[in-house]
Structure formats: structure tokens, C-alpha cells
Structure 1
Amino acid sequence: MKAVSLVLLMAVLAGCASPGAPELRPYSAEETRELALEALSRRGLSFDEYQQKKAQLLGLPAPFDGQGEMSAQSTVSRHHPAS
């Protein structure tokens, strides 16, 4: 009986000593941005809406204007970097 009690006590103490959850830490800015982009890709938005939201998340100018057409200014700035 003592042996069984001792084994149970050791099992309980061993369970209490083991870490239950990984250490929590805040996400870095890059990790937060990646999570936001993954969530955005799962939302089922139209191509134009997706591109607009993606540009907002990345801090880029929107590649499309309100009419769903490419903005000439953003196209020029992409292909011809300022000197």
C-alpha cells in the first residue's frame, strides 16, 4: 500500500513540475503582418479588393483606383524608379 501511495505521489509531483504551456511572447511586426496576410487570403475577396487590402497592410500605395483599373502613377513608379 505504501508503495502505491508513493508512486501516485511521485506521479502527481512530476505532473506539477512539467511546463503546461509554451512561454507566451508578443508577435513581432513581421509575424503580425504575415498573420494578417494569411487571414486576408482566406477571406474570399475579389481580386481588386484583395490587392487594395494587401497594399494597405504592406503600407504601399493601392495599385488600383476606384474603378478597378491600374493607376498610371503607381505603374510608372514601379517600372521607373525615381533618380
Structure 2
Amino acid sequence: MNRFLAVSFLLVTSVLAGCASHPAPELRPYTAEETRQLALEALSRRGLSFDEYQQQRATLLGQPQKPFSFDRQGEMNAERSVVLHGRPS
């Protein structure tokens, strides 16, 4: 009988302790930094083109939008010898 009382006392104590604990971290409001990070993670999963991604990322971060694009020179042949700014490439 003592064993039954001890087990039931421990059970009731653990249930009451669980009810009295602080709320879960998921229930608290997100900070501005956490919200921005979640938005950036969602943006990276959207499968946008490079230019669209950079535009929307700059908007989220509050940065001025820079024109990102590939250069108009095309691909370079690895066998071609070109000197850029006094250095061999």
C-alpha cells in the first residue's frame, strides 16, 4: 500500500510540475532578427532566378538594390592567353 501511495504521489507531483512550467519557446513572439532569418530561408527555397533572388533579398535586408548580372563578355577559353591588369589569367 505504501508503494502505491508513493507512486501516485510522484505521478501527481510530476503532472503539477509540468503544468506550472514556463510556456514553450515556440509560443513566444519572434524577434525582428528571427523573422528576417525565416524570411531569408523561405526565399532561398523558392527557386527564383539569380536576379530575382538578389532583388528580393536586398528588399528584405533593406539594402539598395544593386544590378547583379553576368558580364557580357561570354565564356573564356582556358587555352586562350589573356592578360588582365598586368597579370596573366
Deviations 1:17-64 (A, max 9, x none): 123852432222112111111111111111111101101101122223
RMSD of Structure 2 on Structure 1 (CA): 2.6
Indicate the percent of aligned positions where both proteins have the same amino acid: 54
> Runs ≥4 in structure 1, deviation > 4 angstroms?
none
Which range moved further: 17-26 or 48-57? 17-26
Question: Larger helix proportion, structure 1 or 2?
Answer: 1
2:33 aligned partner, one-letter code? E
The structure whose Rg is larger is: 2
Question: Larger strand proportion, structure 1 or 2?
Answer: 2
Is 1:57 paired with 2:60? yes
**Structure 1 residues without counterparts, runs of 5 or longer:** 71-83
Is 1:36 paired with 2:39? yes
1:61 aligned partner, one-letter code? P
Between the two proteins, the alignment pairs up a number of residues equal to 67
Q: TM-score, normalised by structure 1?
A: 0.59
